Structure 1
Amino acid sequence: MRITSINGKRYILVIVDDYSHYTWVHFLRSKDEAPAMIITFLKRITVLLQSPVIIIRTDNGTEFMNQVLKVYFDSVSITHQMYSVRTPQQNGVVERRNRTLVEAARIMLIFSRAPLFLWAEAIATACFTQNCSIIHRRFNKTPYELINRRKPDILFLHVFGAICYPKNDREDIGKLGAKSDIGFFIGYSADSCAYKVYNRRTKKIMETMNVSFDELSVMDFEQYSSKPGLNSMTSG
């Protein structure tokens, strides 16, 4: 991405399960982080799904074609298949998902009037929502259900950019202090059953379950110099 995220990330790593079409997104500061990220993901997903990864398909970029990944793939008997960088149709599922996620995130940022440095949160939220809502034609189930073997809880979903009120957990607020801060909903925790909120007071992202939502009010992010526009967010 042309604009660095609030956490200093510039690149998106999109991983799609060929069976379920479940999608994971990871964000990188540089492409050099890709090998370690991929190895960590493969170890975690093998344990989570109790099933070994047999084949990985990537383009032949240096972030995938390197000795670190080759040694790891050989050690766990993973077959690495490659397709040409200039022939994305060879890996159409990932390419389509990448475009869909970026376009969805762009629209979410525009309509919530969120600052562009929240692009990574918008993409992650779009990914989670699509995993829970898109129906796999072959199985007539969502990717979430195919991976987790249960239906997603749609009541857990909220509108990106919605005004919300996370509980104020400061110890110095006193008896008359505000019990809640004002924030904007920007996604779901990757590690727990919690929401990600951009706290307007601290200008930081927090994860919490102690939050109430007001999705009927007009979204009103503070205006920043980098305002989202139709052509200002492109993947790179």
Structure 2
Amino acid sequence: MERETGMKLKCVRADNGGEYRGPFENYCRTHGIKLEKTVRKTPQQNGLAERMNRTIVEIVRCMLSQAKLSKSFWGEAMRTTVDLINLTPLVTLDGDVPQQVWTDKEVSYKHLRVFGWRAFVHIPRDERSKLDAKAKQCIFLGYAHEEFGYRFWDPDSKKIIRNRDVVFFEDQTIEDLQKLEKTRVGSPHEISIPVPVDIEHLVEEVSGEYEETTTGGEIPQGKPECYDEAVAHEHKEHWLKAMNEEMNSLSENHTYDIVKLPQGKRALKNKWVYRLKIENSRPRHKARLVVKGFNQKK
């Protein structure tokens, strides 16, 4: 603190814990620093520190709960909590920011992210082969102090990693990551992520021909040509299941976001395309939601 501010430390107040006796006590005495110790079992004598401890614990509890992380991550949550408090305007500083007061520099909030977010972290080229994935799914834990970048929890290696090349997925936690992993490995307890909008309201049927290419194993009879035909089909339940699977896939892969249409702009048209294929001697109903991208203007 003396090196950062150029001022001399005059007094330290602490509780009567053993960690403040012995070497630390001798250090203060040698350097002319006054060491004030509270009476045993009277934390109110050091109220400023105790109130801050309570604030930190309450924030840590909320962060772990929202992020769906276990208590074992309390240290990372506390580290991030202190970083956020140092960037928060305080009444005791007349609305000023602690870090700004301490460093006498303008603070930036551009780097802030939500604790526990799911993220895709870039894998350096020298750590992967040509056919390996270029990114891994991790959980955001906080900010690195001793080096630039963010801190992440890698569920595969069970380690904390640091990286700056990352894409964050808002409103997705470790629970969403675990659900996707169960689905990927074919767990018998697969959980379907609910789609926030109804298919019928999302899709706008359009008239006109749509070129289709017949692939191997496809049955050319008995498939609907549009949404209305699908919901009126004799195998309606199979087509609805196929459409729900498609919507779940789009949602899990964060393919789209529900946003307000800019004023004066029109949305691109879209359409359901249906396929009936034979797989393992059984028919399989497949549905794909396609967008007429050739209509978009730069």
Same fold (TM over 0.5): yes
Corresponding residue of 1:13:
none
Is residue 161 of structure 2 the alignment partner of residue 206 of structure 1?
A: yes
Using the size of structure 2 for normalisation, the TM-score is 0.56
Q: Deviation per CA, 1:129-178, whole angstroms, max 9, x where unpaired?
A: 11101324344201111111123211111100001122112635222211
Corresponding residue of 1:90:
45
Corresponding residue of 1:62:
18
Mapped partners of 1:172, 1:58: distance in 2: 47
1:96-115 equivalent positions in 2, closer than 5 A: 96-115=51-70
Corresponding residue of 2:132:
177
Aligned pair count? Answer: 178
Distance 1:71 1:222, change over 3 A: farther
Mapped partners of 2:74, 2:11: distance in 1: 30
Is residue 15 of structure 2 the alignment partner of residue 52 of structure 1?
A: no
Is residue 144 of structure 2 the alignment partner of residue 189 of structure 1?
A: yes
Whose relative contact order is higher, 1 or 2, with alpha carbons under 8 Å and at least 6 apart? 1
What is the CA-CA distance between 1:82 and the residue it aligns to?
1.1
Letter in 1 for 2:75: A
Give the percent of matched residue pairs that are identical in Structure 1 and Structure 2. Answer: 27
Corresponding residue of 1:130:
85
Distance 1:72 1:218, change over 3 A: closer
Letter in 1 for 2:59: A
Q: 8 Å contact 2:139–2:153 — kept in the other structure?
A: yes
Mapped partners of 1:190, 1:96: distance in 2: 25
Distance 1:215 1:85, change over 3 A: farther
Mapped partners of 1:150, 1:196: distance in 2: 24
Mapped partners of 2:44, 2:130: distance in 1: 61
Runs of 4+ in 1 over 4 A off after TM superposition: none
Letter in 1 for 2:111: F
What is the CA-CA distance between 1:128 and the residue it aligns to?
0.6
Mapped partners of 1:78, 1:100: distance in 2: 28
SS at match of 1:134: coil
Q: 8 Å contact 2:138–2:153 — kept in the other structure?
A: yes
Is residue 28 of structure 2 the alignment partner of residue 73 of structure 1?
A: yes
Letter in 2 for 1:131: N
What is the CA-CA distance between 1:181 and the residue it aligns to?
1.0
Distance 1:170 1:119, change over 3 A: farther
Mapped partners of 2:7, 2:148: distance in 1: 24
Structure 2 gap ranges (5+): 180-298
Mapped partners of 2:173, 2:65: distance in 1: 13
Q: 8 Å contact 2:14–2:36 — kept in the other structure?
A: yes
Structure 1 gap ranges (5+): 1-44, 224-236
Larger radius of gyration: 2
SS at match of 1:99: helix
Q: 8 Å contact 1:165–1:212 — kept in the other structure?
A: yes
Letter in 1 for 2:69: A
Using the size of structure 1 for normalisation, the TM-score is 0.70
Mapped partners of 1:136, 1:52: distance in 2: 26
Mapped partners of 1:210, 1:52: distance in 2: 40
